[in-house]
Structure 1
Amino acid sequence: MTAAANLVTACGPRIEFAGIDLTLGRTRILEQVSFNVAAGSVHAIVGPNGGGKSSLIKTLLGQMPHQGQLTLHWPGEREVIGYVPQALEFDRGLPMTVDDFMAAMCQRRPAFLGLSRRVQPAIDAALARVGMLDKRKRRMGALSGGERQRVLLAQGLIPEPQLLVLDEPMSALDEAGIQVFEQLLQGWRQAGTTVLWIEHDLEAVMRLADRVTGLSRQVLFDAPPAQALTPERLLGLFSVHPRSESLA
């Protein structure tokens, strides 16, 4: 963790992955995955496609059964998790505006009734943080990929998360969007939010993460970026296709 992060009181949880095994059908996706995520840190997970990164995230979110121990140590009674997926799959012909999407994701009131007065200030603030407030009446299908990704980032801010899970949030962003994301990341660090971040942009990980785990079915390394992202370790991580074992 960086020196700056050490000065912040974490509001997010510490996470322990201990011996996580995941098997789908007869294929072993994860094998004995063990590492810790420090409270209030920005922790990146890197690795090849098919290496189990998204599957590990889904175990954390309770979407996949697994073996092993997964423990979240929350600092208080408030336990809020935000999640930003890699992409949004939807029918682009739907007459769904940015406001409609935010209403559907961020409030209990049916979206067709519009934004509730209780939630609208938070939605306004979230859209402003990602630079999409002036496009709130545009249809989601008319937005660029980078603009849709900004909207996904905005919905992950409501309610303000203590743990934020990001699945390749930079994949569709343009340069302006990347700057927005980096500002958000610094804000989460300053707030003591725990961020678990899947990312393929290794240069961004080197600059922005406190710690990096290399995952290809198993943990191949877990260290600060300067120690983790060496040519030798990256060659070992990306040169071999993940060994998804079929169980006998």
Structure 2
Amino acid sequence: MGPSGRRANGPAILFDRVDLTLGRTAILEQVSLAVAPGAVHAVVGPNGGGKSSLIRALLGQAPHRGTIRLDWPGDGGREGPGTIAYVPQAVEFDRGLPLTVEDFLAVLCQRRPAFLGPDRRLGYGEALARVGMAGKGRRRFGALSGGERQRVLLAQALIPAPDLIVLDEPMTALDEAGVAIFETLLAELTAAGTTILWVEHDLAQVRRLATRVSGLNRRLLFDGPPPEMLSPERVLGLFSAAPRTMAGALAS
């Protein structure tokens, strides 16, 4: 069961003593935390504190030491792992490319070659409608605003319906309407039992929407319910220049 009492379709995630080093620089040191199945688990911390590196390690994109494990639900007739989706902060591309929104989704979502055209059986139109982009599938992707491109990135994460969704500061480029759409999506995914691992810099949104929050500044400084963990003292310690141990942060 998830934190809300609903049956969770998403996995539990375990990070056990994870270390990550780039060159001679320690990015993550002995990070251990558990994400409950069906949780909206936020990770907060300063720029350069290792949040995105933790995500890359989870997705198999960064070499690390220690253990990262996904524990998928054993019931419901599932065979093997479920669907994992990822929403980055932004996407780098040549804005001059004659690429429509549906073409972009085809590149990311379908298995057949994108030059054969979008496979409309995958429900691109429905996913775009869920992010407030109904009828915009034929627009040129490079002509979209930053907020519209971010909505398309959210849409691609819904094809197919994810069991685990990893969000790397998805609200950065969103306007007020886009933020409202994101909140609605978060509620829908939670109701479906999806596990959500969410890197975010907006602490007010984390307080309001997350079920649990972890503070990361190279090391894990705190982990628990947002109203308790995001006190002014802990936030100040989190964003200070010198990372502290979790025990030291909790003692403050």
Return the TM-score normalized by structure 2: 0.91
RMSD: 1.5
Q: Which residue of 1 aligns with 2:83?
A: 80
Q: How does 1:3-152 map to 2 (within 5 A)?
A: 5-76=3-74, 77=79, 78-119=81-122, 122-152=123-153
Gaps of 5+ in 2: 245-252
Q: How far apart are 1:45 and its partner, in Å?
A: 0.2
Q: CA separation in 2, counterparts of 1:239 and 1:52?
A: 14
SS in 2 for 1:49: coil
Could you tell me whether the CA contact under 8 Å between 1:11 and 1:40 is conserved in 2? yes
SS in 2 for 1:227: helix
Gaps of 5+ in 1: 244-248
Q: CA separation in 1, counterparts of 2:72 and 2:85?
A: 14
Could you tell me whether the CA contact under 8 Å between 2:3 and 2:36 is conserved in 1? no
SS in 1 for 2:96: coil
Highest RCO, 1 vs 2 (Cα 8 Å, sep ≥ 6):
1
Q: How does 1:167-182 map to 2 (within 5 A)?
A: 167-182=168-183
Q: How far apart are 1:241 and its partner, in Å?
A: 5.4
Return the TM-score normalized by structure 1: 0.93
Q: How far apart are 1:79 and its partner, in Å?
A: 1.6
Q: CA separation in 1, counterparts of 2:190 and 2:84?
A: 15
Could you tell me whether the CA contact under 8 Å between 2:125 and 2:137 is conserved in 1? no
Q: Which residue of 2 aligns with 1:154?
A: 155
Q: CA separation in 1, counterparts of 2:228 and 2:171?
A: 23
Q: CA separation in 2, counterparts of 1:209 and 1:64?
A: 26
Q: How far apart are 1:71 and its partner, in Å?
A: 1.1
Q: Which residue of 2 aligns with 1:246?
A: none
CA shift digits 1:154-177 (9 cap, x unpaired): 001111110000000000000000
Is 1:164 equivalent to 2:176 in the alignment?
no
Which amino acid is 2:97 matched to? L
Q: Which residue of 1 aligns with 2:187?
A: 186
SS in 1 for 2:121: coil
Could you tell me whether the CA contact under 8 Å between 2:83 and 2:162 is conserved in 1? yes
Could you tell me whether the CA contact under 8 Å between 1:48 and 1:241 is conserved in 2? no
After the TM superposition, which segments of 4 or more aligned residues of structure 1 sit over 2 Å from their partners? 4-7
Could you tell me whether the CA contact under 8 Å between 1:130 and 1:151 is conserved in 2? yes
Could you tell me whether the CA contact under 8 Å between 1:205 and 1:225 is conserved in 2? yes
